[in-house]
């Protein structure tokens, strides 16, 4: 089961959660995240109270075999980046979906579906409690 805890950080009362001796998890999406395994639901982590959003920015990069090719980047906000760094400094792991962990590499960690729950609607999705995706920063 997940234990929910309210933690004040930078004038925001965050709702975070922890499984057993795992890290504190901060859901930075707008929706509840359901954790589980293939047999049962282990707990739900509500939205934390700090919402991270990002919009795609599409650039056409060429053409190949008659189809247009594009690259998608995601916008980042400085104040969001700063807050995510504060969470990590306080040993709180910000978690979210694909867009968020791609938009904020190494600052937001992506939820990983339980095997068999990869392609289901959000209300049926179950994610793992101890495995997260990471997008590494490209060093320039």
* Average pLDDT of adjacent 10-residue blocks, the chain of 140 residues: 95 95 96 95 97 95 97 94 97 96 95 96 93 80
Which among 25, 56, 21 is positioned nearest to 127, based on CA atoms?
25
Cα–Cα distance, 64 to 49 (Å, whole number)? 44
Please tell me the predicted confidence (pLDDT) of residue 77: 95
Tokens of 99: 């867009």
Identify which of 110, 97, 109, 117 has the alpha carbon closest to the alpha carbon of residue 36: 117
Sign of CA dihedral 116, 120, 125, 128: positive
Residue 13 is predicted with a pLDDT of 95
Q: What is the pLDDT at residue 21?
A: 86
- CA-to-CA distance for 29 and 52, rounded, in angstroms? 6
- Residues facing 17 on adjacent strands: 4, 25
- pTM flag (> 0.75): yes
CB atoms within 10 A of CB 131: 12
Strand pairing partners for 66?
none
Alpha-carbon gap, residue 134 to 111, rounded angstroms? 9
What pLDDT is attached to residue 136? 80
What pLDDT shows up at residue 122? Answer: 87
92-96 sheet: strands from edge to edge: 2-9, 12-19, 24-27, 92-96, 109-113, 127-133, 33-36, 41-45
For the chain, give every domain's residue range. 2-133
């Amino acid at each position: 089961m997940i234990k929910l805890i309210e933690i004040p950080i930078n004038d925001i009362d965050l709702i975070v959660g922890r499984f057993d001796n795992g890290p504190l998890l901060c859901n930075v999406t707008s929706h509840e995240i359901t954790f589980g395994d293939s047999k049962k639901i282990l707990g739900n982590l509500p939205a934390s109270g700090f919402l991270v959003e990002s919009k795609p920015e599409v650039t056409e990069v060429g053409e190949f075999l008659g189809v247009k090719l594009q690259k998608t980047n995601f916008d980042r906000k400085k104040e969001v980046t700063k807050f995510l760094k504060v969470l990590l400094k306080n040993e709180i792991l910000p978690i979210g979906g694909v867009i968020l962990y791609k938009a904020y590499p190494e600052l937001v960690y992506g939820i990983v579906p339980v095997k068999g729950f990869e392609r289901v609607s959000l209300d049926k999705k179950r994610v793992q409690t101890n495995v997260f995706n990471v997008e590494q920063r490209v060093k320039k």
